[in-house]
A and B are shown apart, each in its own frame.
Chain A
Amino acid sequence: MHVGMIGTLGLSLPGMLRLKASEIGKVESFNAMADAVIHIYLPGGMAQHESWDPKPFASPDYRGPYTPIKTSVPGEYVGEKFVNIAKIMNKLTVVRSMTHGEAAHERGTHNMFTGYRPSPALKFPSYGSVISHEQGSRNNLPPYVVVPNQSIPDQGTGYMSSAFGPFALGSDPADKGFAVRDLLAPKDVTSQRFDRRRSMLTAVDEHFRTTEKSDAIGAMDSFQQAAYGLVSSAKAREAFDLSKESDKLRDEYGRNTAGQRFLLARRLVEAGVRMVSVTFGGWDHHSNIKGAFDGLAPSFDQAFARLITDLQDRGMLKRTLVLVSSEFGRTPKINGTNGRDHWPRVFSVAMAGGGMKEGYIHGASDALGGEPDRDAVGPEDLAKTMYRVLGINAEKRIMSDGGRPIDIVNGGRVMTDWLT
């Protein structure tokens, strides 16, 4: 249906607040190498041995239950279940020397969503919220979408206004009849009424808007503007409509939570969302790691590999950064219950597109996969590089509550080695 068009109102989601937020000091500006990020997060801490950093020559206690397989990058292996990923390894940059010091889920997760260590004094914003703050909305779409739901507190806005918070789908793309609700005006509301409601709302909002001030009021206001943008744009709404994809492609991604979520993520960035934060599975495999991997890894493998080739086929890979991470890795030695425990000392992340090298391995863990052997990378390096790719200089400071300017990323390096 056609609803009233409100094209003239400059519907950038956090526009107003962004202007208000003081920005401190000038930093060098970067040219963007990518327009969007798909951040695939595997909660629980995926074992590096069974995935990106297998140790084919270690003893079985360390190697784990699988036989690593060769990839399209000569001499490099991945875990046995990464059959499809092995074929597209020559499109990826894999970092095998990620390290940090947080062995608890919530603390490690915080590192990997913010680039900061958790602090008792300040809550830090997620990547997506920083991107919202810095770049705002595009094509009437929310700049930051979480798929399927915000299940992790660190996906939130931290010290920033909630105006920069994620839009959550509210239901799982893998569900039958998946649809994001409330995107269409009610059937009985004609475009004339829709417009009238809007002007009426402006009239009755005026009093409160001018007399009361709080961040929450401002945030609610900006979400209302964003909602109007989304509802008014058929194209924007279609980004959420998976049924517009062919059955064939949906099958190829896999008719499961990994496949459908990753496919929707692609639709969203294609339409203009800047950051899609997707979670998949539970990877906290303290016991029976083989059983767990047998269940989870194949759907991840299929969906991730298809996502990369799909982006490539559409010519989007160059301008879309795909990042796969987890809060930490797992212990090099198999434990007494045939699992692996938390291990932040060394683990892996994988990336593709957005100016990353193809078929590049950065750093290495030691022979057992227990410590970084060379070129260790911290969460702040990863964060800073990710922002760099999007054209955001992470040395910029953003004002937090109480007038305290905070670096987007504190320290860290732009890992120019990774970039083409």
Chain B
Amino acid sequence: MSFRRLPLLAFLAAGLTSVGSAAPVAFDEVRAVFEGKCLECHNPEKTKGKLLMTTREGFLKGGESAAALIGVAADQSELVKRLLLPADHDDLMPPKGGPLPAAEIDLLRRWVAEGAVWPAGVVLVAKDKAKEEAKAELVQKLTTLEKLEIFPESITLETKRDFHRIVVFATFKDATTRDVTAFADLKVGDGKVAKLDAYSVHAVADVGSTEVVASLGGRVARIPVAVKEGHKDRAVSFRQDVMPVFLRANCNSGGCHGAARGKDGFRLSLFGMDPDGDYIRLTRELIGRRINLAIPEESTLVEKSTGAVPHTGNKLYDADSSYNQTILEWIANGAKNDAPSIAKVTGIEVFPKQIVLEGKAATQQITVRATYSDGTDRDVTKLALFMSNNDPVAKIDKDGLVRSGDRGAAFMLARFDVFSVTAQAIVIPKGLVYERPKVAEVNYIDKAVNERLHRLRIVPSETCTDEEFIRRVYIDVVGLYPKPAELTAFLADKRPDRRAQLVEGLLQRKEFTELWVMKWAELLQIRSDIPGNNNVPPFYKNALLYYNWMAAEIGKNRPINEIVVDLLSASGGTVSAPAVNYYQSELDRLKLSENVAQVFMGMRIQCAQCHNHPFDRWTMDDYYGFNAFFAQIGRKATDDPQEVIVFNSKGGESQHFLTKKSVKPKFLGGEEPELKPGDDRRRVMAEWLASPRNPYFARNVANLVWAHFLGVGVVDPVDDVRVSNPPSNPELLDELAARLTDYKYDVRRLVRDITASAAYQRSSKTNASNADDKLNFARAQVRRVRAEVLLDAISQITETPNKFQGLPLGARAVQIADGAVSNYFLQTFGRSKRESVASTEVKTDPNLSQALHLMNGDAVNDRIRRGQVVEKLIADGKKDDEIIRELFLRVFGRLPGANENKAISAAIAADPAGRRFVLEDTFWALMNSKEFYFNH
């Protein structure tokens, strides 16, 4: 380094007189002040006030306030002037924490007066305070370092354009993780083969292999690097390079040019689903305007996106960004379309896949790697779109940097091409005092749930009482409230396995079957078209026969997969072969295939009817491939309007919305089956759908069952399985699905496991760590009981039989075959009308009509009078406290508390002549109280 002194401005000499005889200022002292106090803003990335203070040239050039920082006299230099301003002046430097200490100001004054000597070639670097602090903090944490990894776990560099960004990832003993890329000592084994540039690995040699080595805290991680054709270039491709820019910059989103009619006269296919069409629109419409081959920079495609000309969507990226460079290069090369053989994306992967961040504002870089059909891979982090499903817990920025927020779990979705994948982020409070509690682990369910809770540092609630348990399992397993005799018998049972015994008995009851028949009847939309007109299809008779078929199949305890195969491959008449009514509940073929996906696989594929799904894996090819299984359904009327024959018509194809070509049948998320002409496509599809070959079927049924018992699905809502709505506990769902498959799809056995688990048997009382958690099964959820079960309970408790159309007196609301048969109570309390397959058809939200109906309507008041329960108890000579006890057991499933007894006794004492009325009013109050309406 040369320390040749350079008198910058000779006329400054005049100022020298003011500094007297002190020794000349050493530049290192000045440098320390600049680096510590000024460069945070005046660095090449920020250049505040257009002043760059890292180099001598930038410093001399000055900023926007003054042409040069050096004035005639030291005190007239802009630099010194700004340092000397009063403390409350807006222009004072530095703006934060200023003014500088007098000694530093004096130092700089002297330095300026001496001619502001800056040794040639010295470049200053800002001291990153945050980084220094983070490093100091990390050193402490490193004593508990358990594992050091580099992602991706290997790198292949195929051309000289290829690069892969690496992430160095530390896992600590407390299971927390950290992005330590900036702190690790990084090296490439052989610098002649590959090099590191800003954490990205690039090829140096044409062919060769080496490794990247990261060391930190005494641990070392290595990944292999293979270079193939590292000197070869590849041309910018329309599909591989240009189209991803459109997706990344949101050009082709639904609100912009991706809209069906485009935007401001320019249309792109939504999410880039139609590259050929986009190519034509770009190059063949308004020739020479969107693409200007002569002067690429003057293409509207370039000018609009870089903000050079007004653009409704504003500036999307800088002119010197890699995005714009890609577009420019493509145009400069002639804006060519790709050869048909161009490699396609076959999948993407994110790294790291699981992170556990500690405290707020911790960060972690996520990278995305795409693989192509020619066997190559690329780092597409800069081209992918990122989204968090839970921003308060963890946000992700557009470059894939995750930043933690509140405690909880979140999924980071990355989308590239038609693929979406997620990484899971867990955030736990910093410095949390936590010790893994000893929690009961009854079976595989608890293993998965407890592990998850441990990772989230959530302590589960206690086990519920026997009183709570019996009421809960009665409502959940058989849809009934326990009767007083059943309650007392159970509470007197002292066997250690009494809870399992109780469930065993309930599973054998017909009400268990009926509850599940009702749930399936909702999913299969078993309903007639009764309201208004009973004379149009579907007819009540059809609905009834269909329901009875379903009830008989489930009643026989046939495995659900077999029932589904029979249902979906049914042929015959709607009266003579009732299962075919499934194909009468939805005549629109597109909707029908959507319904099948939603009901049996829990997936909503509707979006893919017109465009590739934006938040999921489904493409239009998948959609129309699946739809093709339903393309050959024939329907034929008979002389009985109630009897419609559904048959395999052996003809008809599924036409792609965009290409208008016939699409071959392809299982959703599976392969294309071999089909002979005339094969019943529905049967082929059904046999795949309800089998272990289709991983979604067992998962979906298991999740439906789980959600029924726990109030929240592992995937929730249960019919919205998609990449961007991942299961809250993937291990749990995998295990439930595997067991259900092993059990040959016998739902009873799964119910046994669930009700036996500690997770199901928890109390609804919260503790500090689980009060805000609703998704991880740390406590029982308080749930409003569904309408049918409530009405049946009111009927049972008040001893007043129900009467529904088509059913004998005393039938239960759960047994109603037809979704269109209802009454005011059921409607108001949210019974499913079965008008759609959506899980939201069943409503349990409270509303004012419900409150009014309970208070004044016939459901409670009239039934208390009609059933004469209180009158009979009085006639039997029962004492007040006996009657109160009986009523509490009937309605709440528990004994009255002391305060409750006291209040009621006092009311009787106040009106002894009206004893019956007081007791009936008590009965009314119990049935108007929240405790009756909620399962807890």
Q: Which residues of A contact B (CB under 8 A)?
A: 13, 101, 103, 117, 120-121, 142, 153, 157, 162-163, 165-168, 170, 181-186, 188-189, 193, 196-197, 199-201, 203-209, 211-214, 216-217, 219-221, 223-224, 226-228, 230-231, 345, 402-404
Contacts and interface: CB of A to CB of B under 8 A. Distances in A.
A185 B850 CA distance: 14
Most A CB contacts (10 A, CB to CB) among B782, B848, B857 go to B848
B824 interface: yes
A208 B255 contact: no
Q: Which 7 A-B pairs have the closest CB atoms?
A: A200-B925, A208-B931, A203-B903, A227-B851, A182-B852, A162-B845, A220-B846
Given A181-B824, A182-B853, A204-B931, A197 B925 contact: yes
Nearest to A228: B855
A103 B845 CA distance: 30
B926 interface: yes
B900 interface: yes
Contact of A223 (B783, B840, B846, B918): B846
Contacts of A183: 852, 856
Contact of A217 (B390, B782, B861): B782
A167 B899 contact: no
A15 to B, nearest CB: 14
Nearest to B845: A162
Nearest to B861: A186
Contacts of B861: 186, 188-189
B405 to A, nearest CB: 9
Contact of A182 (B254, B260, B849, B899): B849
Contacts of A185: 855-856
Contacts of B853: 181-182
Given A167-B848, A402-B406, 7 more contacts: A157-B845, A205-B930, A216-B783, A217-B782, A223-B848, A224-B851, A345-B261
27 contacts: A101-B254, A103-B260, A117-B255, A163-B846, A182-B849, A183-B852, A183-B856, A186-B861, A186-B862, A189-B861, A196-B911, A196-B918, A199-B903, A199-B907, A200-B907, A200-B922, A203-B925, A204-B903, A204-B925, A204-B931, A207-B897, A207-B931, A212-B782, A216-B934, A219-B846, A228-B855, A345-B261
Given A101-B255, A103-B260, A203-B903, A404 B852 contact: no
Nearest to A214: B782
A217 B855 contact: no
Nearest to A171: B824
B526 to A, nearest CB: 23
A200 B857 contact: no
B930 A230 contact: no
Interface in B857-883: 857, 861-862, 865
A100 B928 CA distance: 46
A184 B856 contact: yes
A227 B855 contact: yes
Given A182-B857, A188-B865, A211 B929 contact: no
A403 B408 CA distance: 12
B924 interface: yes
Nearest to A100: B255
B931 to A, nearest CB: 4
A117 B865 CA distance: 51
Contacts of B929: 201, 204-205, 208
A223 B851 contact: yes
Contacts of A165: 845, 847
Interface in B420-473: none
B121 interface: no
B615 A120 contact: yes
Contact of B406 (A163, A213, A226, A403): A403
A216 B926 CA distance: 18
Given A203-B903, A216-B784, A227-B855, A404 B392 contact: yes
Interface string B552-575: 000000000000000000000000
Interface in B878-917: 897, 899-900, 903-904, 907, 911, 917
A117 B928 CA distance: 39
A162 B917 CA distance: 34
B904 A200 contact: yes
A271 to B, nearest CB: 15
B782 A402 contact: no
B54 interface: no
B548 interface: no
A221 B848 CA distance: 10
A236 to B, nearest CB: 12
A205 B931 contact: yes
B765 interface: yes
Contacts of A230: 848, 852
Given A101-B255, A170-B849, A186-B861, A197 B828 contact: no
Interface string B390-423: 1111000000000000101000000000000000
B924 A197 contact: yes
A403 B427 CA distance: 15
B271 to A, nearest CB: 14
Contacts of B765: 211-212
B766 interface: yes
A157 B848 CA distance: 14
Contacts of A103: 260
B85 to A, nearest CB: 34
B855 to A, nearest CB: 5
A188 B746 CA distance: 51
B848 A226 contact: yes
B899 A206 contact: yes
B259 interface: yes
